[in-house]
Amino acid sequence: MTIGIRFSTRSDVGLVRANNQDSAFAGEQLLLVADGMGGHAGGEVASALCVASMAPLNNETFSTSDMLERLGDAVERARIDLVQQARSHITLSGMGTTVTALLLCENKLAMAHMGDSRGYLLRDGQLTQVTKDHTFVQHLVDTGKITPEEAETHPQRSVVMRVLGDFELDLIPDLSIREARPGDRWLLCSDGLSGFVRFETLEQTLRDVADIELCSEYLIQLALRGGGSDNITCIVADVVELDDDATNVIPTQSGPERKQAIATAVGSVALGDDVPVMIDQASTLSDSSKLLVGANERVNTVIAQAIARKSGEPISEPQPQTGSLVLPAQSNDETSQDSASGPASSVAPINDDDEEVLAAISSGAAAEPKRRSFWRGLVNTCLSLLLLGGLGYGAYYWGSQQYFVGVHDGKIAIFNGFPQSVGPVHLSSVIESSVLDPDDLDPYMSRQIYSTIRATSLNDARARIEHFGTEIADQAKQDKLAEQEKAQEDAQQEDPDSSDNATDISVTPNETETPSTDPTETPSPDVTDPAS
């Protein structure tokens, strides 16, 4: 059985915003929604760069064993791209974007999520929100300070605590893997849809409108009728079973069948209507416009490769971007030029013929300035030492409040300080060690722990280790259950009659068994009783 996805994607600028800061990509392997933020032009550039960085994953080859790691690496490459561009263009500093993505391989779906864009799953007529919002309001709900109903109207419901962008914090996405079951319908959307359309309305629309093109269009219209004060983007995708000779034809509720797009992009990465206007008015492209045009070209290349691969044309395997983030060193050319033409060059030279000047320099008249210079230097030195001492104490105190999770002696542990060393001196120390082995986690999370994960506090670090312990325990239970099932299968193969005999013994009444004398037991009614 071959599993595939049929998709429809829409994006609308809404009724209030002047530009579309959302971007989305949909292909036969990858579904992705990004909602940008960061002021004028920053949001649309951030979402476009994220989609352009991750879109090549749609054409890459991978297995179910490494698909989650590959998706996590794609998110990290997108983060590096955003950081590099933000530091190269000061006007884009601080930009960021949410990201919610699904990656298909065989009968599995890997998901990556950061921010308040959402992923929903409609299965057997029941809608479930799969993702969890990384917002301040969701934190209040999790801690029991407000109810989910109060969260819907909370004044700070748009405050996002975890996004992909130009930030110093080590923020990692939520990564999960699940079964791709034929008949499932997925919805990925920005908060411009989920924030204006009630959950019950989403469920009814996804369940009742079978045509995915009509369904995505109805969802956009519902958000506009609900206020439409934000950009609105959604992807509706059906998990289907494909035949070996399947074609890209989508059944419709009415009218002729239409072909499914191989891959498509919408939003700012697709060069919305506002970008050409910016280009025409400026005559020369601004930095943000250049980045948008470049992102659009990269996505169009991915789409062209997907179409070529579908038609059987040979294409080269996309090479994933690797390497660490290295910032260029600051140039000192301007500093050298300033020094050459500084105040010293404007001082008039001393005339050797001026005997009074020469006498003053050689006599004790110059001794008083020298003494004043000595005391001034001593005071400055003391002040400098006091300042350095204060800075050192401040750095020590700040470092004592820093925590991260890492590996010590092969076990997951909590460290206090900084995950760096200065020569032989380590800037951190182990304060708590667990019995958890990082290698028992999935490869991607294990690699993150070996690279260290920052924590906001000691309690946050403990909570992370507790979460890792839960994941390891769940995995151990699954492994044990799988071993038991395999042992039973092996036993049945060795003695096929044993299971039948066991069954016969279990259903044969024991002649020596005495009836239960429990007074609380209610006898079963006689099946021959006419009153029953």
Nearest-angstrom CA–CA distance, 246 and 224: 36
Closest C-alpha to 532, from 520, 521, 517, 523: 523
Q: Which helix (DSSP H) or strand (DSSP E) does residue 478 occupy? A: helix 458-494
pTM, entire model: 0.61
Residue by residue, DSSP assigns 233-264 as EEEEEEEEEEPTT--SEE--SSSS-EEPPSEE
Q: How many CA atoms lie within 13 A of 273 on its CB side?
A: 6
Closest C-alpha to 123, from 174, 187, 175: 187
The CA radius of gyration of the chain, in Å to the nearest whole number, is 33
Give pLDDT, residue 222.
97
Q: Which helix (DSSP H) or strand (DSSP E) does residue 83 occupy? A: helix 67-88
Nearest-angstrom CA–CA distance, 22 and 216: 16
Q: What is the mean pLDDT of each run of 10 residues along the chain (532 residues)?
A: 92 92 96 86 90 96 93 93 88 91 96 96 96 90 86 80 76 92 97 95 96 96 94 97 63 59 93 51 66 93 92 65 43 38 36 42 41 58 74 66 89 87 76 90 85 86 89 84 84 66 46 47 47 42
Residue by residue, DSSP assigns 342-380 as SGGGGSPPPPTT-HHHHHHHHSGGGHHHHHHHHHHHHHH
